[in-house]
Amino acid sequence: MYLMQFLVLAAFLFCVGVYGVLARKNAVLVLMSIELILNSVNINLVALGVYRGFDQAVVGQVFALFVIAVAAAEVGVGLAVVLLIYRNRASIDLSEVDLMKG
Amino acid sequence: MGVSALRMVTAKNVVHAALYLVLVLAGVAGIFILLAAEFLAIVQILVYIGAIVVLFLFGIMLTRAPIGRAPDLDNDQRGVAAVVALFLFGVLGSILYDGFGDDKLPVGEVVRSGDVGDSIFSTFVIPFEAISVLLLAALVGAVVIARRD
């Protein structure tokens, strides 16, 4: 198997996630796109770990596990924030959340 | 999998986007199996598909009462966003091709789940503890933020 296959797939997922973050207006959809980005990073970590040999493969998998844990925490807090925005403004349209706009 | 990712960011229905996200995450679990990371694949299915997607569905149902097609999910930066994403993909692809060309993955010793566990609880025990504190803090923080007072 070529290393490039995995890296290009990860790059593709990353770019799709970036598109989602930039183009979506619904806050939940933006959070889902962030999950895509984190997953592409996980693929990169595991694939490059395998590429570097046994020891680095273990390290890559451990790092990917940590990323998954942080992603879970991030989704929990993110959805709590989204719920709070929805409760205060009755909408989760991110283009209306401009309190900090200069 | 790539198609589901694209459908996810272009779907007109929020619930469909979440279901396409399930497909993408399952695909990533398959990639982990291809890379001989079976523990990670199972964690991916349990944590992402089992927990995070359910959390997303809860979020969707708590914030969008009328479930169905909604025409206003994208803002007016779609064109710019597509250009940025394509440009990024081009740059990343060319850099990766320069760096790794046609290197092959070595077929050597396979990482077993036990090796991952050994590594977590020996080399990475302090980050592991930090992660557990982080998860606790995030849990408490989410409860505090979302509490109705």
Indicate if the pLDDT at residue A42 is higher than 70: yes
Inter-chain touch B97–A4, beta carbons under 8 Å:
yes
ipTM of the complex: 0.89
How far apart are alpha carbons B137 and B126 in whole angstroms?
Answer: 16
* Domain A3-92: which CATH number of 3.40.1260.10, 3.40.228.10, 3.30.43.10, 1.10.287.3510: 1.10.287.3510
Residues in B 53-112 with any Cβ partner in A closer than 8 A? 55-56, 58-60, 62-64, 70, 72-75, 77-78, 80-82, 84-86, 88-89, 92-93, 96-97, 100-106, 108-109, 111
Task: Express each pLDDT in B24-79 by its tens digit.
Answer: 999 999 999 999 889 999 999 999 999 999 999 988 888 865 666 777 777 778 88
pLDDT for B67: 65
pLDDT for B65: 57
- Which of B145, B120, B141, B147 is CA-nearest to residue B131? B120
Q: How confident is the model at residue B148 (pLDDT cuts 50, 70, 90)?
A: confident
- What is the distance in angstroms between the CA of the first residue and the CA of the last residue of chain A? 51
Least confident of B65-74, B100-109, B113-122, B127-136: B65-74
How far apart are alpha carbons A33 and B147 in whole angstroms?
Answer: 26
Task: Express each pLDDT in A62-96 by its tens digit.
Answer: 999 999 999 999 999 999 988 888 888 877 777 77
Inter-chain touch A81–B145, beta carbons under 8 Å:
yes
| Residue ranges of domains in chain A | 3-92
